[in-house]
């Protein structure tokens, strides 16, 4: 029996059944294996390389780890999206509803130039709310989102179908969970 890369990577991801009221998919166990982590970065970069990316944008905190590595591998710049009040210069911000609370994110308003081809990278696609909020910030300053890359996609939450995200963007994820008990 052969396993897909997605199935093989699942052995490096720890499922925490009850963390702050949700099932938490812990990637620290994957990150500590240099070969596996680098393989994931390379796979994501390879998928998006033909998109002629100018900059990678990622939200804190785990998104920074993956996004920074992908930006380095693609030899492009990196732009952080942070929680409100964490960036020192003039910012734009957006408040949005998450699964269990509201959140406000911000980005430096001069971080992306008009027409920049932007790759959004995060560790996890759940309901799509965080990704969509980030996309709105990117597009508000004139960036063109050319793709969304994730280490993990929780297919059972239908995040790629959030407000027509699927039809508008190239979404690529390495590991897919079909149900909350899929390990």
pLDDT digits (tens, 9 = 90+) for 74-83: 999 999 999 9
d(CA 41, CA 39): 5
| Percentage helix, strand, coil for the chain under 3-state DSSP, each rounded to 5 | 35, 35, 30
Q: Are 150 and 171 in contact (CB under 8 A)?
A: yes
Report whether pLDDT(183) > 70. Answer: no
Residues in CB range of 153: below 8 A, 6 or more apart: 124, 125, 159, 160, 171, 173, 175, 176, 177
Q: Are 60 and 81 in contact (CB under 8 A)?
A: yes
- Mean pLDDT for 143-168 is 83
- Mean pLDDT for 78-98 is 93
Cβ density class 128-154: b for 16+ within 10 Å, e for less: bbbbbbbbebbeebebebbbbbbbbbb
d(CA 178, CA 47): 22
pLDDT score, position 128: 87
Q: For 24-33, 124-133, 162-171, which range has the lowest pLDDT when averaged over its residues?
A: 162-171
* Residues that are catalytic: 62, 99
Question: What percentage of residues in the chain have a pLDDT greater than 70?
Answer: 90
Condensed to tens digits (0 to 9), the pLDDT of residues 12-58 reads 999 887 766 667 789 999 999 999 999 999 999 999 999 999 999 99
pLDDT score, position 20: 63
pLDDT score, position 1: 45
- Mean pLDDT for 99-115 is 91
C-alpha 110 chain-centroid distance? 21
pLDDT score, position 33: 95
pLDDT score, position 129: 87
Report whether pLDDT(173) > 80. Answer: yes
Report pTM. Answer: 0.92
Q: Does the bond joining 61 to the residue before it have cis omega, within 30 degrees of 0?
A: yes
Q: For the chain, what's the residue count?
A: 183
Instruction: Write down all domains in the chain, each with its CATH number in brackets.
Output: 5-177 (3.40.50.2020)
- Provide the pLDDT confidence category of residue 98 given band limits of 50, 70 and 90: confident
């Amino acid at each position: 029996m052969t396993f897909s890369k997605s199935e093989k990577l699942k052995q490096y991801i720890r499922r925490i059944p009850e963390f702050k009221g949700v099932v938490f998919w812990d990637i620290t166990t994957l990150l500590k294996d240099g070969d596996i982590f680098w393989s994931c970065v390379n796979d994501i970069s390879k998928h998006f390389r033909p998109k002629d990316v100018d900059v990678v944008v990622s939200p804190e905190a785990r998104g920074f780890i993956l996004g920074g590595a992908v930006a380095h591998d693609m030899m492009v710049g990196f732009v952080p999206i942070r929680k409100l009040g964490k960036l020192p210069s003039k910012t734009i911000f957006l408040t949005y509803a998450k699964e269990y609370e509201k959140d406000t994110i911000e980005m430096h308003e001069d971080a992306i130039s008009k027409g920049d081809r932007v790759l959004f990278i995060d560790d996890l696609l759940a309901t799509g709310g965080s990704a969509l909020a980030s996309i709105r910030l990117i597009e508000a300053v004139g960036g063109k989102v050319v793709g969304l890359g994730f280490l993990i996609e929780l297919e059972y939450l239908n995040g790629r179908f959030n407000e027509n995200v699927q039809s508008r963007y190239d979404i690529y994820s390495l590991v897919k969970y079909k149900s909350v008990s899929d390990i």
